[in-house]
Structure 1
Amino acid sequence: MSISIDLARKVLEACKRRAGELRSPVSIAIVDAGGHLVLFERMMAPHGFATGNISIAKATTAVMFNQSTDAIAQWGGAIPGFASSLSAMTEGKFIMAAGGWPLRYNGVTIGGIGVSGGNAPGRDDEIAQAGLFVLDAGRRQASRSPAPTPASAQPDPAFYSAVPPAMAGERMAQAQEIPNIQQLSAGEDDPYSALRFNSSNTTHEDHPGDRYE
């Protein structure tokens, strides 16, 4: 299960609104559950080109470990060579810096979001979390919605035959019986025999043209 393009747009717009309120133009990246880029926007274009790659790396890292990138930095920093090794193995799509979060819906990770370029400490995280609220709001709304009424278990009357079940069974049995084969005479067995000239019969009835001689 991965985030849809429509839901990704809602998450992106929520992050942009929060970035606008904070007067902090940033780069925002959203990836699916497999770490593939779904949506990306660089609000400070054409400036801040480096923040684009960083935001994608944050989103990918969050999905990879199913944790926020800030949490990964807290324990990953104590492992020698951890960051450099993973960065090399993922072609630069691993980073330990705040601003990346996994996107979860009903406990299932459906993608990740990464924000880079905030103009103050903690600003990337704050903007990214604005996108998380969209998923929480959608989940709460879905839980409050009434359950759909199940369809009737009764079959459609249109599928019923007008023939009573007992008679229908008899007709079915009759249809399955092998029909009797009637024994036909030699002449009846050949429907074209009447059209052929019978050389052994010399009566005038076999030669209608003789009547006019």
Structure 2
Amino acid sequence: TRCKVVTAHKGDFWLRLTTKGKYAHGARPELGRNAVHLMSQCIDAIETDYAKLLNSRHHTVLGHPTINTGIVRGGTQPNIVPANCEADFDRRTIPGETLASIRREIRTILDQHGLKAQLSNVKGFACPSMETDPNLPWVRRFMLTARQTKPLGVDYYCDAANIAAAGVPAVVWGPGDIAQAHTADEWISIGQLERGTELLTRFLLSLP
């Protein structure tokens, strides 16, 4: 977090759409039903109409929720009409959104377009959003130590949400930049490490 105190982060759900068609020889496509074509229509509805709906929502520090089509799998070879297709979506949430509400929204969008697809949850566990009250005494103290006057939110998901969900208020904090995370060569600058050490030490020494 570059030694900034993060009080809110987005949640993350991985969802999968599955479309079914009918196999046929590529020379006679009219005898089959193309599951990839059907999926392309589903993706278009999600990336346009559903994305527009998400853009209309706003959280003070997290902005708007998003959805991204990350993986599409379908077909076996070019001369066969595909009977199956799958697409995986990354849905970033803001507080108040749940897996159940997201499933209802996607189902509604598909129904409005007359599209049929199975919807499932790829992850077997919850990755909810987190929002901790920045006015909690120890959070205020930590922000003061970091010389930070306003709460900060981030787009990525963090395990702090699970701690908060268990009833323990949590924040996200640490030296380094998220831009270096999940890269081939993750690294952290010595300057950030030294600043993080100094800030954390000063915060702990300030506690009663």
- As a proportion of its length, which structure holds more helix? 1
- As a proportion of its length, which structure holds more strand? 2
- Normalising by the smaller structure, the TM-score range is under 0.3
TM-score, normalisation: structure 1: 0.22
- Structure with more relative contact order (C-alpha pairs < 8 Å, separation 6 or more): 2
